[in-house]
Copies of this chain bind each other. A is one copy, B any other.
Amino acid sequence: MQRVSATKEAILAAALELGALHGISGTTMEQVAERAGVAKGSVYYNFSSKDKLFGELLTTGVSKLAQTLHDARLSASGFAGVEAMVTAMLSLLEANRALSKLMAAEIFRTDRAWQESIFALRREALTEIEEALVPLVPAGTSEAMRLLMAGGIFGATLMGGLEWLLFSPQTPVSDVAAALLFTLSGKLDAGPTPPTLG
């Protein structure tokens, strides 16, 4: 009584790897079928269109990322919460390299069929970080500013993580987390300071 069939799993895995290598538009359904070890007809039997296939892939992936950040945020408070989120996100990137590359390339696209749901999930992930920042920024800081900061932390982790996985994958995750957190610590770590930001 498995949730999804083995064929569907194989198709999703093939699409993920090919999408990370060549982008979504650069990946053909024929290639997906070949890599999954099935015929193209079987791909269309499981996914009615290319958009549906990659939409499901990305929605699931970003959703998992948001959930990971949520769990990490609840695991610690103060700056330790941010540390936990960065570290958990790095581990997720390491365990899902293909998905990470795909996300990085697709997260700002504005012309996809699945755009709305991805944007909503991305916002969900950012909001997790933003909420962890509330007690760490000056009292008068607006939510918009906190979201920009959250975007920065998210971007630092995603790009730093991809830099790591592509160009120095032998570095242990703890070192990468330490490097990224070093650039983030300091004022955040010191707790609330007088309001100087809009």
Contact of A186 among B23, B106, B187 (CB under 8 A): B187
Q: Which B residue's beta carbon lies closest to that of A21?
A: B111
Q: How far is the CA of A160 from the CA of B144 in the complex (A)?
A: 12
A149 cross-chain contacts in B, Cβ below 8 A = 160, 179-180, 182-183
Q: Mark A143-162, 1 if CB is under 8 A from B, else 0.
A: 01101110111111111101
* B197 close to A179 (CB less than 8 A): yes
A167 cross-chain contacts in B, Cβ below 8 A = 147
Contact of A152 among B25, B111, B145, B156 (CB under 8 A): B156
Q: How far is the CA of A183 from the CA of B130 in the complex (A)?
A: 12
A148 cross-chain contacts in B, Cβ below 8 A = 160, 163-164, 168, 171, 175-176, 179-180
Contact of A156 among B105, B156, B178, B186 (CB under 8 A): B156
A171 cross-chain contacts in B, Cβ below 8 A = 144, 148
Q: How far is the CA of A111 from the CA of B22 in the complex (A)?
A: 6
Q: How far is the CA of A158 from the CA of B157 in the complex (A)?
A: 12
Q: How far is the CA of A101 from the CA of B156 in the complex (A)?
A: 16
* A23 close to B23 (CB less than 8 A): yes
A183 cross-chain contacts in B, Cβ below 8 A = 149, 152-153, 184, 187-188
Given A108-B105, A159-B154, A175-B145, also A186-B190 (CB < 8 A): yes
* A159 close to B166 (CB less than 8 A): no
